[in-house]
């Protein structure tokens, strides 16, 4: 792990990956906690964004609530990997893409305001690349909340169980608000006021909606979003397990609580090429450390002897916030 030597930088990264203040002057709250000034905090975060330590200060949205998304993959010939990755990353719906060690070697997340938009994104990519795209839709999350501890931890920090999802809390205009937050809030003293001005709403209304969406579990995390590779978490493996559908609840529950497993969820299999239902991510500082976590996962009662694949990431092509609203809708 990269040593974040400056204690204020480390505090900003460690303490504010979630529970970012929903107040008029949030960066002043960070400054007070860190023992520095508001302008110093803003400058530090701007520098971290500029040098790639963080992607943004912003939000993540619970999947398939205000928007739609899916995990997808293509099997690109070795001599076309760069070309195919470039085509995938040109699509406006793609917010994450990685090369992984497998025949299905380029993996990406396609997002959009609704499922039709995601389908259109996958269709465009298939037509432009001439490759089959497998669509691995999320069925059930067990642990989808990810944070990274800078202060001497061997594994990424684990977080508490997320809030129960209450879709009835969603109101008109929330998509446009979340679209701004997922892309990243402005690094200014009063960011919510700037966002309110962009939306033609009052700052008080924006603050109230952010709080309501957080309480409802729709806004799953608000804070500093780090680039884990930049900070030393470079050995990242996606492990897929061929667990019977009836056994998924027990296996997913056991796997999600294992230290070192950072994400865990069930996805819809693709019968002829991809029979795996249960997925987990292991983020580690070395391949050996990742494999040590995998050994513990293999020993879990629900996973002992279960067929699985390990797909280490070799390159990150893209990592941005999700698209929540169409461009016109976001501007209204």
Higher pLDDT, 27 or 143: 27
> What band does 234 get if pLDDT is binned at 50, 70 and 90?
confident
Element (H, E) at 229: none
With beta carbons less than 8 A apart as the criterion, state whether 10 and 224 touch: no
> What band does 86 get if pLDDT is binned at 50, 70 and 90?
very high
Question: Helix and strand tally (H, E) in the chain?
Answer: 11, 11
3-state SS class at 61: strand
Question: DSSP assignment of 99-137, as one string?
Answer: EESSSS-EEEEEEESSHHHHHHHHHHHHHHHTS--EEE-
Q: What tokens were used for 218?
A: 């729709």
Q: What is the rounded distance in angstroms from the CA atom of residue 96 to the CA atom of residue 107?
A: 8
Q: How far is CA 198 from the centre of its chain?
A: 25
pLDDT at 325: 52
Q: What is the rounded distance in angstroms from the CA atom of residue 321 to the CA atom of residue 182?
A: 5
Convert the pLDDT of each residue in 170-222 to its tens digit: 999 999 999 999 999 999 999 999 999 999 999 999 999 999 999 999 998 89
Residues 6+ apart with CB under 8 A from 133: 72, 73, 74, 122, 125, 126
| 263 pLDDT higher than 60 | yes
Convert the pLDDT of each residue in 266-281 to its tens digit: 999 999 999 999 999 9
DSSP secondary-structure letter at 162?
P
């Amino acid at each position: 792990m990269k040593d974040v030597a400056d204690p204020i930088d480390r505090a900003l990264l460690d303490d504010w990956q979630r529970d970012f203040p929903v107040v008029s002057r949030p960066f002043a709250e960070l400054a007070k906690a860190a023992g520095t000034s508001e302008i110093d905090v803003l400058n530090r975060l701007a520098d971290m964004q500029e040098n790639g330590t963080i992607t943004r200060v912003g939000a993540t949205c619970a999947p398939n609530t205000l928007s739609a998304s899916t995990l997808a993959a293509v099997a690109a010939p070795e001599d076309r990997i760069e070309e195919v990755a470039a085509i995938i990353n040109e699509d406006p719906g793609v917010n994450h893409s990685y090369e992984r060690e497998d025949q299905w070697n380029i993996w990406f997340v396609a997002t959009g305001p609704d499922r039709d938009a995601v389908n259109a994104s996958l269709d465009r990519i298939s037509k432009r690349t001439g490759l089959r795209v497998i669509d691995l839709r999320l069925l059930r999350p067990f642990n989808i909340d990810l944070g990274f501890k800078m202060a001497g931890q061997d594994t990424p920090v684990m977080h508490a169980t997320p809030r129960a999802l209450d879709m009835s809390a969603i109101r008109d205009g929330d998509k446009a608000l979340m679209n701004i937050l997922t892309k990243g809030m402005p690094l200014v003293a009063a960011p919510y006021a700037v966002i309110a001005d962009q939306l033609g709403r009052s700052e008080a209304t924006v603050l109230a909606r952010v709080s309501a969406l957080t309480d409802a579990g729709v806004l799953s995390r608000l804070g500093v979003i780090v680039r884990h590779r930049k900070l030393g978490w470079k050995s990242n493996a996606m492990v897929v397990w061929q667990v019977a559908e009836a056994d998924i609840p027990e296996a997913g529950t056991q796997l999600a609580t294992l230290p070192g497993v950072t994400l865990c969820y069930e996805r819809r299999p693709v019968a002829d090429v991809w029979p795996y239902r249960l997925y987990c991510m292991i983020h580690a500082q070395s391949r050996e450390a990742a494999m040590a976590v995998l050994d513990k996962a293999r020993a879990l009662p629900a996973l002992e002897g279960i067929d699985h694949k390990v797909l280490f990431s070799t390159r990150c092509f893209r990592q941005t916030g999700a698209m929540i609203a169409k461009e016109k809708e976001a501007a209204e």
